[in-house]
Structure 1
Amino acid sequence: MLTDAILAFLHFLAIFVLITLMAAEAVALRPDLTPATVRRLSLYDLFYFLSAALALATGLLRLFYGAKGADFYLHNPWFHAKMGVFVLIALCSLPPTFAIARWRKQARRLPDYVPPPSEIKAARRWVMIESHLVILLPLCAVMMARGIGAR
């Protein structure tokens, strides 16, 4: 029972950090981006990736070592929906991640580098899509946790 509680806490913590970093990226990705913000975005994106990896890892640990057991989750369509949404969000995070990596490389060569407004707008659009999709995760989680739709 303690293991399940600790895993749940770590899972929720990773998710809250992930959402905070997603919001930070959305706020930072503005037309008035400064060179310092480009560097800060790199850190946000790195920690975003790490928090997503931790959320996935703790989720998998809950699946196999949590109180409900893998059988509870694997036969629940909401579990599969939640995993699908998570993968979709991960795929949506790739374009801004690649853009931020390009910007970081440019900023190393040119200290005053600021990406063009069109690239900033495109990266922000992807982050906003992610932020709208993330709303579906708690819906899937509560339906799954209550066994709705399970066989």
Structure 2
Amino acid sequence: MIERWLLAAIHLLAFAFALAAIRNRARALRQPVPLFEPRDVLRQDMLWGLAALVLLLTGLWRAFGGLEKGAQYYLHQPFFHLKMTCLALILILEAWPMRALIKWRVARSADPAAPLPGARKLAIISDVQLLLLLLMVLAATAMARGVMMG
């Protein structure tokens, strides 16, 4: 019982950290060049990555680790499919920021003043990911309350 509660709490806290990190990454990416702080972008990106990892691990453990309602419940729950679709879209969208920020880190090691190309587009991607993550929270709470579609 306590294991289920702690795992659920960690999962929910990871959602909070993920939402904050994505929002802060988008805000940092939107800063005008004189105020643009690379450390803020990279720090928020790292926090987002850690939160995403915790979400994935705790989510898989909760869904398929025999602690919660069981895999059969989740696999037949439309809101679970909505949540997983949002997750897939978030991960697909993350490919571009991840690649761009890795290249930027490498470029900054040679030139600390190297600009980040496409920062505004990366901010927009972060905004879309934020909306998808919010939709995941809505789907998760609908699942937890037994809300049925249709």
Give the alignment's TM-score, normalised by structure 1: 0.87
Q: SS of 1:65's equivalent?
A: coil
Q: How does 1:2-151 map to 2 (within 5 A)?
A: 2-33=2-33, 37-63=37-63, 64-116=65-117, 119-149=118-148
Q: SS of 1:32's equivalent?
A: coil
Q: Quote how far apart the aligned CAs of 1:146 are.
A: 2.5
In the TM superposition, what whole-angstrom CA distance separates every residue of 1:80-107 from its partner, at most 9, and x where no partner exists?
1101111111111221121111211111
* In 2, Cα distance between equivalents of 1:53 and 1:112: 30
Structure 1's 42 and 125: CA in aligned 2 closer, same or farther, altered over 3 A? same
Q: Once structures 1 and 2 are overlaid, which stretch shifts more, 38-47 or 49-58?
A: 38-47
Give yes or no for contact 2:29–2:36 (8 Å, CA) kept in 1.
no
Q: Quote how far apart the aligned CAs of 1:58 are.
A: 0.4
Q: Which amino acid aligns with 2:49?
A: F
Give the alignment's TM-score, normalised by structure 2: 0.87
- Supply the RMSD in Å over aligned alpha carbons: 2.0
Q: Once structures 1 and 2 are overlaid, which stretch shifts more, 46-55 or 1-10?
A: 46-55
Q: SS of 2:37's equivalent?
A: helix
Q: Quote how far apart the aligned CAs of 1:36 are.
A: 7.3
Query: Which stretches in structure 2 are left out of the alignment for 5+ residues?
Result: none
> Once superposed, which parts of structure 1, at least 4 consecutive aligned residues long, lie more than 6 Å away?
none
Q: Quote how far apart the aligned CAs of 1:4 are.
A: 0.8
In the TM superposition, what whole-angstrom CA distance separates every residue of 1:65-93 from its partner, at most 9, and x where no partner exists?
32322222121111111011111111112
Q: SS of 2:126's equivalent?
A: helix
Q: Quote how far apart the aligned CAs of 1:31 are.
A: 4.7
* In 1, Cα distance between equivalents of 2:109 and 2:13: 33
Structure 1's 142 and 106: CA in aligned 2 closer, same or farther, altered over 3 A? same
Give yes or no for contact 1:79–1:141 (8 Å, CA) kept in 2.
yes
Q: How many residues align?
A: 148
